[in-house]
């Protein structure tokens, strides 16, 4: 189970808010670390199934190679322009590789739901197209921190 954040409880997202936010956002930033300790951050599309963040990554990427060597990662999804609009989620934990790599569409029961969600979200389709270049990573977070600065206005009024 993911740990909860200690600070900012007044502006953290509820479970329902977090689920809705992750369902509507389209891009996350995934942080990895190389063997010599150099960090790498890259943007990626994702889906959230309520318990896990599913990342569809190119298998010949630096991110993929680094996660193969060290599967620990942190992912940020955020939104907003002005200070009072900022909101986001940071999820951290260990990435797991799921299905064949690269993904060709072989039957894999664990991927049915993430692929259905991903196909709808990004392609407006019911079935997942496979390009033979991507594969799945699943992050069941050990820790989740969230913030929604839009809640600050209500706090100031109370």
pLDDT at 88: 97
Per-residue tokens: 35: 């063997």
So what's the architecture of 15-157 in CATH? Roll (2.30)
pLDDT at 86: 95
**Can you give the residue ranges of every domain in the chain?**
15-157
Cα(63)–Cα(1) distance, rounded to whole angstroms? 25
User: What tens digit of pLDDT does each residue of 105-146 get?
Assistant: 999 999 999 999 999 999 999 999 999 999 999 999 999 999
pLDDT at 108: 94
User: What tens digit of pLDDT does each residue of 23-37 get?
Assistant: 999 999 999 999 899
**To which residue do tokens 């496979």 refer?**
130
Radius of gyration from C-alpha coordinates of the chain:
17
- CA dist list (Å): 26 to 21, 33, 49: 10, 23, 14
Residue 135: beta bridge partners?
57
Cα(117)–Cα(139) distance, rounded to whole angstroms? 16
Cα(55)–Cα(32) distance, rounded to whole angstroms? 13
Name the pTM for this structure: 0.89
Cα(90)–Cα(84) distance, rounded to whole angstroms? 18
The full 3-state SS of 73-102, as one line of letters, equals EEEEEEECCCHHHCEEEEEEEEEEEECCCC
């Amino acid at each position: 189970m993911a740990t909860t954040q200690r600070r900012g409880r007044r502006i953290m997202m509820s479970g329902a808010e977090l689920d809705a936010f992750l369902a509507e956002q389209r891009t996350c930033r995934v942080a990895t670390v190389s063997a010599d300790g150099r960090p790498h951050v890259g943007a990626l599309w994702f889906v959230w199934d309520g318990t896990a963040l599913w990342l569809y990554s190119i298998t010949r990427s630096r991110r993929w190679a680094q996660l193969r060597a060290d599967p620990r990662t942190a992912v940020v999804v955020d939104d907003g322009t002005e200070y009072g609009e900022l909101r986001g989620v940071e999820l951290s934990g260990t990435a797991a590789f799921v299905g064949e790599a690269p993904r060709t569409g072989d039957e894999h029961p664990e991927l049915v739901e993430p692929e259905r969600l991903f196909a709808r979200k990004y392609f407006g389709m019911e079935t997942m197209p496979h390009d033979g270049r991507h594969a799945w990573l699943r992050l069941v977070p050990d820790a989740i921190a969230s913030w929604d600065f839009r809640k600050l206005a209500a706090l100031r009024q109370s």
